[in-house]
Amino acid sequence: MAKICICDVKAPKKIIDSLIKRGYEIVPSFNLNALNGGLKTHPDIQIFKIDDKRVIVEPNTLEHYKSHLSRYGIQVISGATILDNKYPSDIAYNIAMIGNSVIHNLKYTDKNISNLLEGKKRINIAQGYSKCSIVTLPNGFITSDVGIYKKIENEFKYSLLIENGHIELSGYDYGFLGGATGYDDKLYFAGSIENHPSYELIHRFLEGNGIDYVSLSDEKLVDIGTLMFLSDS
């Protein structure tokens, strides 16, 4: 069984090396030049993961991801929306999914994704960058966005609101913890969560809900557009 991680092609080497040591095969993201700054290479801007065997991608990235993922038996489906660099023209695929619930500014959700969400509970929020803003866990979430927290906290078993900022993102004042994490068998942090000012709160929250976590480097947390895990099993 192959363990796969779609990862920002510009992610720090320590993070990539740490994932490889843990048995992951790395699929580099596409450099989507239509977008701004660090967002150009963010997987969660370009891709929506339906499940371990299916992803929907921005049309200009289709051949890139097919060339990397088809050999694992993963179906790569083209989205309908071509992204542009002005918000909200860059958010169609940046969707958070927790269990059977999909969280997004639904007005801007890619229509091909919407067509595949039958049976899912759809939760509309004002924030377009929902995946960036939300650490998705099996039955809950972490966010620094007060609006998101208030809107969805009662939808899930557990939730945590943390301090904003303290995460690097190229071209921006700061990034978001959702974009600096990915959940597989445990929660992986792109950098050191121990150096975040909300660490003790996060540690107690994860420990209390039986969620293991790993810091993939000893450097500052960096928003790399989510560590997107897949499997060929």
Q: What is the pLDDT of residue 58?
A: 98
DSSP state of 222: B
* Helices and strands (H and E) in the chain: how many: 7, 15
Q: Identity (one letter) of the amino acid at 42?
A: H
pLDDT at 166 over 70: yes
Segment 198-215 shows an average pLDDT of 98
Q: Identity (one letter) of the amino acid at 192?
A: S
Segment 155-183 shows an average pLDDT of 96
pLDDT at 14 over 70: yes
pLDDT at 184 over 80: yes
Segment 108-134 shows an average pLDDT of 97
97 φ, ψ to 5°? Answer: -130, 125
| Superfamily (CATH H level) for 3-231 | L-arginine/glycine Amidinotransferase; Chain A (3.75.10.10)
Q: Give the mean pLDDT of the chain.
A: 97
- Percent of the chain whose predicted confidence (pLDDT) is above 90: 97
Q: How far is it, in rounded angstroms, from Cα 210 to Cα 205?
A: 9
pTM of the model: 0.97
Q: How far is it, in rounded angstroms, from Cα 176 to Cα 182?
A: 12
| Paired tokens of 83 | 């992204």
Q: What is the pLDDT of residue 233?
A: 67
